[in-house]
Amino acid sequence: MLTVSGSPHVHGDDSVKKIMYGVVYAMVPAILVSIYFFGLDALWVLLTASVSCIFFEWLVQKFIIKGPVTINDGSALVAGILLAFNVPANIPIWIIIVGSFVTIVVAKMSFGGLGKNPFNPALVGRIFLLISFPVQMTTWPLPKPLYGGTAVMDAVTGPTPLGILKEGVKMGKTVPELMPEMPGYVNELMGFQGGCIGEISAIALILGAFYMLVRRIITWHTPTAYLLTFFAFTGILHLIDPTQYADPFFHLVTGGLMLGVFFMATDMVSTPITYRGMLVFGVGAGLLTAIIRIWGAYPEGVAFAILIMNAFTPLINRAFKPKRFGEKVVQA
């Protein structure tokens, strides 16, 4: 018996699983940094979030949808790690379980599961927790100092650099006055700053992003548009009034920017499918992030910015088509 089917008869051998586990590998540097700075607390949160996300997905697929169980495709694991990346390391374990429930059951499975969710599930989980448990979500443990020293991890909490900035400016201080209170650019770049588990080290995140770019899991379009827009916007404001607006380099290495740019704004499911659309998405997210950080009620705007742009994704897909071959008539 011969098999008969339509062409093509060969496949490129890439798969959802390879992509998802590729993202997991890309998150390893940030995971290691978080464990280094926050110790076992970070590890517990990471494990709890991953296991409960996978568990909730299994639960829904097995008992509610009663369809095939696909928890080993890696997507629930990615969502779990990303959710853990978006909470402080000292968050009570039960809160992270609630967050996992929202991430998987509400933000992903209720829309139909893999590939169907309009919003990034981990970010929906994060925002849900931020609004429901504002105190626990904004009490950051201070990381262990970079060189030696023994900080008592559970006892000492402190604000993030962005928090210092927001509160300080609100109280009438100028940016140069506030800067000495910050850990400094090099520390911030390496990860020695207050913040959520996965967002503290820009360098670890960039390392992971580089891996994803090489493996073509992500393309340069969204991150570049996002970063350039954000840099330009904060830069212009800084040039206008350096006492009120922090410089763009500070903004680049603090908060959840790198995590958002490389791991959330590049989420395939909830962002545009065309290169043009990705550029538009990046520009929009960059603008919104800067606007929320500078004038919004929250010190950090990455999560809101990306979720808002997620909502625009279908419109962007509709408005920004790829350039069709032969679209522009070339005069012979």
At 114, list the tokens: 């893999």
Under the criterion CB under 8 A, does residue 71 sit at the interface with other proteins? no
- The span from the CA of 218 to the CA of 210, in Å, is 9
Residue placing its CB nearer to other proteins in the complex, 201 or 270? 270
Residue 321 interacting with other proteins (CB under 8 A): yes
Report the DSSP beta bridge partners of residue 283: none
Q: Give me the least distance between CB of 329 and other proteins, in Å please.
A: 5
Closest CB to other proteins among residues 170, 324: 324
Q: For residue 215, what are the CA distances in angstroms to 13, 76, 78, 176, 259?
A: 13, 21, 17, 41, 18
- Alpha carbons 162 and 168: distance in angstroms, whole number: 10
Give the interface segment with other proteins, choosing from 1-9, 79-87, 89-97, 285-293 (CB under 8 A). 1-9
Phi, psi of 203 (to 5 degrees): -65, -40
Q: How far is the CB of 8 from other proteins (least distance, A)?
A: 3
Q: Which is nearer to other proteins, 11 or 66 (CB)?
A: 11
DSSP alpha helix (H) spans, the chain? 16-38, 40-59, 75-85, 93-101, 121-132, 134-137, 161-170, 175-178, 185-190, 202-214, 221-240, 248-253, 257-259, 275-295, 302-319
Q: Closest approach of Cβ 74 to other proteins, in Å?
A: 11
Write out the binding residues for other proteins, residues 255-284 only, by CB under 8 A.
Answer: 268-275, 278
Minimum CB separation from other proteins for residue 118, in Å? 10
Please report how close the Cβ of residue 222 comes to other proteins at its closest, in angstroms: 11
147 versus 325: smaller Cβ distance to other proteins? 325
* Calpha distance 64→103 (Å, rounded): 17
- Residues 2-31: x where in contact with other proteins by CB under 8 A, - otherwise, as a string: xxxxxxxxxxxxxxx-xx------------
- Work out whether 329 is an interface residue with other proteins (CB under 8 A): yes
Which of the 8 DSSP states describes residue 68? -
- Asked whether position 106 contacts other proteins by CB under 8 A, the answer is no
For residues 203 and 222, what is the distance between their CA atoms, to the nearest angstrom?
A: 19
Contact status: 92 vs other proteins (CB under 8 A): no
3-state secondary structure of 146: coil
Contact positions toward other proteins, by CB under 8 A?
A: 2-16, 18-19, 70, 73, 75, 112-116, 219, 268-275, 278, 321-330, 332
